[in-house]
């Protein structure tokens, strides 16, 4: 199925976005989406590009896997901090990118984001930005790291971004699903900002809170570490069960299946929301 631009998916209903680290991730995410009969966002992050040494090979494999699947899917560049990578994404078939200037001072983040948003729109890309610190340098609950609704409204108006990642209590790279979100802040941000809100660090958020967050106004839910943990657990179990295994297909397949099943389950939460 042809790739779908991210704004089109977000206009229909809230969506989950899952990170692709290797081809097995892409295959598993798409299989889970087909199983759930739901749309999905395939994300490739700057960290994954750094791991592989280049964007184009993984992007090409992910794009072809999506086009040959029966799932409605968008291809999105996640957490890019360098304009060069955003420019490259336009040549690799991405429909949207996320520029992360959240660690910059507010004025610098606004200026850099506005310039990149103009370039993206001129080149057919939608752009997501971040305001506030997801996880923050001192943790998700430190003073000053959460997104202020008034600042968010001004930021969106002056940059022209298509979606906004906001800091509301989640943290990146959590392996336990114990995060507590500020649902009232999500609702106030929803009322203040005219573009879809994005929840980063969703791996640490329990199911019920994810459903409540969508109900309060979140439209794009990013998940990575949670799937990686399940993938790794399944691989460990396969290798422990048969120490003679040497064919990577024999121990990667259980990880791929575990991710596909969890993607399908998580996508079902959208229906509940």
List the catalytic residues.
Answer: 78
State the DSSP H helix or E strand holding residue 41, giving kind and residue range, or none if neither. Answer: strand 40-45
> How far apart (Å, rounded) are the C-alpha atoms in residues 220 and 134?
15
What's the residue count for the chain?
273
Residue 48: strand, helix, or coil? helix
> If 0-12 CB within 10 Å is exposed, 13-18 middle and 19+ buried, where does residue 70 land?
exposed
Which among 163, 26, 3 has a CA at the least distance from the CA of 74?
3
Q: Are 134 and 170 in contact (CB under 8 A)?
A: yes
E strand residue ranges, 81-230? 96-99, 126-131, 163-166, 197-199, 218-223
Cα three-residue angle 271-133-137, rounded to 5 degrees: 130
Residue 174: strand, helix, or coil? coil
């Amino acid at each position: 199925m042809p790739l779908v631009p991210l704004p089109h998916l977000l206009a229909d209903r809230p969506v989950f976005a899952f990170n692709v680290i290797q081809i097995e991730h892409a295959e598993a995410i798409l299989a889970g989406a087909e199983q759930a009969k739901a749309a999905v966002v395939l994300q490739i992050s700057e960290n994954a590009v750094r791991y592989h040494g280049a964007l184009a090979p993984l992007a090409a494999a992910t794009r072809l896997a999506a086009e040959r699947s029966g799932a409605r899917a968008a291809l999105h560049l996640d957490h890019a901090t360098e304009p060069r990578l955003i420019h490259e994404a336009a040549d690799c078939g991405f429909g949207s990118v996320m520029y992360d200037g959240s660690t910059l001072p507010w004025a610098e983040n606004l200026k850099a984001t506005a310039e990149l948003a103009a370039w993206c729109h001129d080149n057919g890309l939608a752009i997501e930005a971040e305001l506030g610190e997801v996880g923050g340098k001192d943790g998700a609950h430190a003073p000053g790291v959460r997104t202020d609704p008034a600042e968010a409204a001004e930021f969106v108006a002056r940059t022209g971004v298509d979606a906004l990642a906001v800091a509301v209590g989640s943290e990146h790279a959590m392996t336990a699903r114990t995060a507590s979100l500020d649902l009232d802040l999500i609702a106030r941000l929803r009322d203040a900002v005219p573009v879809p809100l994005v929840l980063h660090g969703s791996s640490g958020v329990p199911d019920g809170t994810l459903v409540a967050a969508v109900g309060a106004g979140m439209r794009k839910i990013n998940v990575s570490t949670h799937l990686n943990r399940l993938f790794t657990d399944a691989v460990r179990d396969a290798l422990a069960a048969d120490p003679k295994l040497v064919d990577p297909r024999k121990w990667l397949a259980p990880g791929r299946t575990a991710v596909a099943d969890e993607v399908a389950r998580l996508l079902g939460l959208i229906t509940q929301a």
